[in-house]
Every structure is written in structure tokens, then in C-alpha cells.
Amino acid sequence: MPTLHDLLAASIDERALRYAIDDSGARPETLRHIRRVRRRNSIATGTTSAIAVTSGFFVAAHGDNSVVSPAGDPADATGEVVIDLTDLAPFPSLPGPAPDAVCGVPIADIGGAPEVDGFAITTGWHQDGAIDPEVLSMQIRSAVTYDGEPRPPAFVDTGYAVIVADGAVVALVEPSSSPHFARLDSGSEWVDYVTLRGGADNTILACDGGDLAAGDYEVYVIAQAGITNETLARQLLAEQGVVLASESDEEWAPGSQACDREARYPTTGRRVLQCQPELAPNVTFDRAAGTATVTYAPELYAGALSVQLVSEPLTLRIAGDVELGIRDTEPGTRDIEFGTGDTDVSIREIEPNGGGDDLAPDAPVVIVCDAPDGRTFVDVPGDMVRIESSDACGGAHVTIITDGSEDGAHGFTLPVP
């Protein structure tokens, strides 16, 4: 007679098969929605730390990038920009290519130099603690300086790193920080650290999706600085706690389904201005044209700025291949004789029902119970281990040995409930 588990599994699996035959697929708008939320989240978290809102004027503090900016008093505003909401660019958009657009590109073709229009970038290896050679844990200190004429604030991104072999980009390093929004004064400096790390917690992304082979490489840091009147206007709105939502695929207006959803399930700490236009009286909407006109104080904008900096190369020598990310393991089993020691197996205690990450997805598992006749072999579906019967284990502990990765088996013990 089947169990409830058997019946539920059969029911859901049979239904899944029918849906697969129906060719059911995720809605295209789901991915667009996720992208929008991620963009808005990056707005909400990316630039707030450097910005405070008061009335009055900008104050730039050397070294800490802090800015005090007006919130766009409409009475003083004479500058304005019309923003196309149906083709809203990611925010804040910077002048250079996105990191994933430079894969395979010759470094000479990326454009930029160590010094451009008063900006300069300097980099150097910065080690903090021991380096694990297996995962290539290293840091680059990246400093962008400005030594030109004072300017109203702009976005300064201290950048991402690219790893270059034979003159072309073979790997990227995920950016570690969001762009700074800061007034540009002579002597300003922005410092960040780019972490190069392989292994399971990798920050390095190989362009071919593989690992990083042993060899000699060059590492460049690509930084950007930029402002347009649109990005300025959107930044000023962000300081007021509101954002503009893209209307490329759905309507945002008071009472619309999108606004209703946002009110119930907020996707950012800021409010969508189209849903509550009263929050920013310096913005007017043309619903028919799908545009927003934003006014701002003219002294906040001194014209567009677009600078890309590419650092001098740093030399990177990798002695052995560096694994990037988590590799799927080949199915296999490992038989360990009960009662014998195995120096290749590291035993760690784990808590049943505890938090933490998954246990060996896809890896077959050998369960060796604390009795010679209690051994059984169990496949692991995902991160789930099914013990057919706790009686079979007879003792106080079950030892679970996982196998499959090239770096050997790992073991865990847990109390039998």
C-alpha cells in the first residue's frame, strides 16, 4: 500500500509530466520583472550610503566621498530633463561597457587610459591575511583620484577587474562596490578593494565558464566616471525616496495593477513615483508620451561627463589551476569498511534540521550506520537524505559519507532522532 509520500509524489510528478507535454514555460515577463527589481534594489542600496539630504548646497569632504545635496527645490529649479519611461536605462548608467560585455575583447580595444581629463587610477596588490593558493584569494587596492576643475557631483565607479591573457580578457572579477555619487573637487579620492577569489565563493568569472588555468596573466582595473542630466535627475529623485519605474512592458499609474502590486509587495525601499506623483512636485508626467519631465537646480549640472579609466596592468602568476565556482560532481559511490579509519574522509559534525547550505546536491551518499549490518546505500535527491528506517541504524549516530568531488569524500555525523 502506498504512503502519503508516494501518493503525493505520483500526483505531482504526473501533473508535471502533463505540463511538460503542454510545453508550459515560465512567462517572459518574469525575467523582466526580476531584472527590474534587481535594478531597483541596486538603486536602493547602492548609493545611499554616501548621500544625505538637507537643503542648501554641496559640501565635498576629501577622502570620504560624502556629499550633501539639495533635494531639488522646485522653486529654484530651472534645469529640466525629459525622461523616456518606455526606454528607461539602468540606473546609474555609466559610460563604459558593462563587465560582461568585455569578455574576449582585446584590452587595447576597450578604450580608456590610466589618466583622463583630471581623473587617474592607480592600483596595487593589497594582501590582507594569508593567501589560500588553491582558491587564489588576493585583493587589489584601486584608487581613483580627481585633480581637475571643481564640478558638481557625478558618479564615480572605482571599477571591476579584468584578467587578461595574450592581450584579451579571459576572466572578470565581480564589482565589489556600487558607484559613488560625489562632488568632484581637486584632490578627491575614492578607494575600493577588488577581491580576486576562486573556489566555491568565487568572485572571478571565467569568460568560457571554466576554471582559471595555471599561467601568467595581467590584471587591469576598469573605472568610470560620468553624469548626464537624466542620471542627475534620477539621483535627486532617489534622494527624495522615490524612483521612476520602467513602462516598457507595464503601465505604472495610480490604481494600476503594477502600482497595486508594488504597494502590497514592495521591491525597493523607495516608492515608485508614477504611483504617488504627489511625492515629487518637480516632476510632471505625460502619460500619452510615456515621459517624465524632471526639474532641478541648474547649478547641480555642468554638462555631461563620460570618462573611462583603465589601470596599468598588474602581474598575476598562478602556480596551479584554480577552480571557479561549484562543479557538478560525477555520480559514483564510495564504500568504506565499517569500523576502519579513512584519512581521506574529513568528519564534521552537523546538526539535523539545522540551517546552513546544502549537503552534496547530486552526490550519491553512503549511509553507514553504527552497526555492521546497518549499512545502506541511498541516492540523494537534491539536498535531501532519506533514512529508510531509524531502526536500521541502531546506534546513536549515523555517518553519512558523500563522494564525487575530485577533492575527495566528505563525511558528516548526526544523531539519530
**Residue numbers 173-232 binding another protein by CB under 8 A:** 199-201, 205
Site string for another protein, 229-268 (x = CB under 8 A): ----------------------------x------xx-x-
Size of the site for another protein (CB under 8 A): 81
CA 212 – CA 216 distance, rounded (Å): 11
* Identity of the residue, 97 or 325, whose beta carbon is nearer to another protein in the bound complex: 325
214 and 246 Cβ atoms separated by less than 8 Å? no
Cell of 250: 507595464
**Which residues 6+ apart lie within 8 Å of 105 measured at CB?**
168, 169
Least distance (Å) between residue 222 CB and another protein: 17
Site string for another protein, 265-304 (x = CB under 8 A): x-x-------------------------------------
Residues 312-341 that bind another protein (CB under 8 A): 325-326, 328-329
CB atoms < 10 A from the CB of 122, how many?
17
Residues 120-149 that bind another protein (CB under 8 A): none
Where does this chain touch another protein (CB under 8 A) — which range of 24-32, 46-54, 59-67, 83-91? 24-32
Output phi, psi for 160, to 5 deg: -125, 160
CA 187 – CA 120 distance, rounded (Å): 11
- Residue matched to cell numbers 561549484: 326
Binds another protein (CB under 8 A): choice among 56, 129, 341, 354: 354
Residues 79-108 that bind another protein (CB under 8 A): 100
Bridge partners, residue 81, by sequence: 294
CA 196 – CA 279 distance, rounded (Å): 43
* Identity of the residue, 64 or 358, whose beta carbon is nearer to another protein in the bound complex: 358
Least distance (Å) between residue 181 CB and another protein: 21
Site string for another protein, 54-73 (x = CB under 8 A): --------------------
Residues 358-377 that bind another protein (CB under 8 A): 358-363
Nearest to 144 by CA among 94, 217, 196: 94
241 dihedral zone (left: phi>0; alpha: psi -120 to 50; beta)? left
Residues 150-169 that bind another protein (CB under 8 A): none
2 binds another protein (CB under 8 A): yes
Question: Regarding beta strands 67-69 and 51-53, do their DSSP bridges make them parallel or antiparallel, or are they unpaired?
Answer: parallel
- List helix spans (H) across 212-330: 229-239, 257-264
Residues 397-416 that bind another protein (CB under 8 A): 400, 402, 404-405, 407, 410, 412, 414, 416
